[in-house]
Amino acid sequence: MVVMSKEKFDYFINGEKGKYEVVIGLEVHAQVLSNSKLFSGSSTKFGADPNKQVSLIDSAFPGMLPVINEECVKQAVRTGLGLNAKINNYSVFDRKNYFYADLPQGYQISQYKNPIVGEGKVLLDMPYGSKEIGIERLHLEQDAGKSIHDMDPSSTYVDLNRSGIALMEIVSKPDLRSPDEVNAYIKKLRTIMRYLGTCDGNMQEGSLRADVNVSVRIVGDKKFGTRCEIKNVNSIKFMQMAIEYEANRQVKLLEEGKQIDQETRLFDTKKNETRSMRSKEDAHDYRYFPDPDLLPLKLEQKLIDDLKKSLPELPDSKKERFIQEYGLNSYEANVLVSEKEISDYYEEAAKLSDKKLVATWMMGDLFAMLNDKALNISNSPISAKNFAELVQSIKSGDISGRIAKEVFEIMVESGDNPKKIIESKGMKQQSDPKELEKMINEILLKNKDKVDQYKAGKEKLFGFFVGQVMKLSGGKANPQLTNEILKKLLKG
């Protein structure tokens, strides 16, 4: 993953650092999580054989009429609420007219002048502070089918399974200033929609794609530069690479005294460059007009209010609560609310043990193990309850941090309860001061010569005594207590 810091992204032009800044606005296409399509009953399930999920509506048979899917409308409203946006009680579906082989209607049903959701905002946590990104609008529209060019050398195939699936187009204001911010923005949108259950955010399956608008300007300029729009980028890494390439291309042109043409461009992932597709079309080219087959969408305020009441706790407020309730710092809280399942796991474990220690062990050993095994928290081999018990055993002094790592490994392999493992393998720490003192006295008696040397100033012998205690206890002596008692007895 390329992660570019803000500093690294400043341009060096003619020896001047940061002469230009990049301005980015995203049009994110998020597939609505729903069983059926926006205007038909066909399934939206991913991975079906080509053209197996296509109704007469999706294939634009004459005389077929679209019927709006109420669940998709509710999903759009929920998402709008999650983006702190204004929900419009009145919105209109328009026809956006253009020809493409995978668009059988010859137009896409979208929303133009009156979208279902208006202005909103999203908060980003950046290393230099929190930053608000404006949302311009969110509208509902149909997805097109898919043209497959690489199955046959002389023909193109069309798969209409996607045709008519509901998309939410979420348009940001041109508030983003670096590839890093774009990374944070997409992740935040995805987190919010996953909490809401309105989009699965699966970029490999195409559930989340973005058109990336990029322009550059000299720092301090009030006016934006001419933008280019890079179409349909489907991974965060590619978005970042495309922005970097495009910003550099534009800066170079400006430095040569040339102009930027407003264009639609394509990111070539193999060559890592953008190239021109076409000069930018204007809205009037699409001949938008209200779809005569669909009535304007009127939402009763009560429906909006009810949906608002039924929203789950969202990441921003959960983060605040984690800081207040569990004493986490902002960084820890951020990580632990990044996925709903992670936050649930944390809360379940934190309630059973030390809140801070649970966070530390989760973000350390647990995440490293999941990452290693390419697992999610939902299919973690260690349950939240067992995890809490492990942390509790460290907290209570039953086992040391070092032994805990061994227990952890066994838990991963066996799924067993930590208490059981500690017991059956005799891993419990020796933390009884009386027992330890007895053992240490024995060792000191046996090594009188070394004790004398130590007292005479050979302090590095301390390690030798610790080693002896560990040897005699089979590695189970509580290290901290051992140190304390040794120091005390060696002084005497």
Q: Which residues bind ligand ADP (CB under 6 A)?
A: 23-27, 171-174, 213-215, 224-225, 227, 229
Q: Which is nearer to ligand ADP, 57 or 92 (CB)?
A: 92
- Total count of residues recorded for the chain: 492
**Can you read off the two tokens belonging to residue 316?**
């921003």
Contacting residues for 327 by C-beta, under 8 A, at least 6 apart: 355, 356
454 to 64, 126, 440, 460: CA distances (angstroms): 95, 53, 15, 8
377 to 265, 341, 416: CA distances (angstroms): 38, 7, 17
Please state the closest distance from residue 180 (CB atom) to ligand ADP, in A.
Answer: 16
Q: Segment 11-50, which members bind Mg ion (CB under 5 A)? A: 27
- Under a CB-based contact definition with an 8 Å cutoff, are residues 114 and 140 in contact? no
Residue 244 binding partner per list ligand ADP, Mg ion, none, with a CB distance cut-off of 5 to 8 Å that depends on partner kind: none
Neighbours of 410 (CB within 10 A): 17
Please state the closest distance from residue 288 (CB atom) to ligand ADP, in A.
Answer: 11
- In whole angstroms, give the CA distance from residue 188 to residue 174: 17
- Give me the 350-379 binding string for Mg ion, x by CB under 5 A, dash otherwise: ------------------------------
Residue 118 binding partner per list ligand ADP, Mg ion, none, with a CB distance cut-off of 5 to 8 Å that depends on partner kind: none
Q: Which is nearer to ligand ADP, 91 or 430 (CB)?
A: 91
Alpha carbon 24 to its chain's center: 20
Please state the closest distance from residue 140 (CB atom) to ligand ADP, in A.
Answer: 15
486 closest CA partner among 426, 474, 447: 447
Residue 146 binding partner per list Mg ion, ligand ADP, none, with a CB distance cut-off of 5 to 8 Å that depends on partner kind: none
Please state the closest distance from residue 277 (CB atom) to ligand ADP, in A.
Answer: 13
Residue 171 binding partner per list Mg ion, ligand ADP, none, with a CB distance cut-off of 5 to 8 Å that depends on partner kind: ligand ADP
Q: Which is nearer to Mg ion, 110 or 478 (CB)?
A: 110
Residue 174 binding partner per list ligand ADP, Mg ion, none, with a CB distance cut-off of 5 to 8 Å that depends on partner kind: ligand ADP
Q: Which is nearer to ligand ADP, 69 or 213 (CB)?
A: 213
Q: Please give the residue whose beta carbon sits closest to ligand ADP in the complex.
A: 25
Rg of the Cα trace of the chain? 30
Contacting residues for 466 by C-beta, under 8 A, at least 6 apart: 479, 482, 483, 486
Residue 334 identity (one-letter amino acid): N
Q: Which is nearer to ligand ADP, 202 or 262 (CB)?
A: 262
Q: What is the DSSP string of 375-396?
A: --GGG-SS-HHHHHHHHHHHHT
Q: Which is nearer to ligand ADP, 287 or 351 (CB)?
A: 287
Contacting residues for 64 by C-beta, under 8 A, at least 6 apart: 56, 57
Q: Which is nearer to ligand ADP, 162 or 227 (CB)?
A: 227
Residues in contact with Mg ion by the rule CB under 5 A: 27
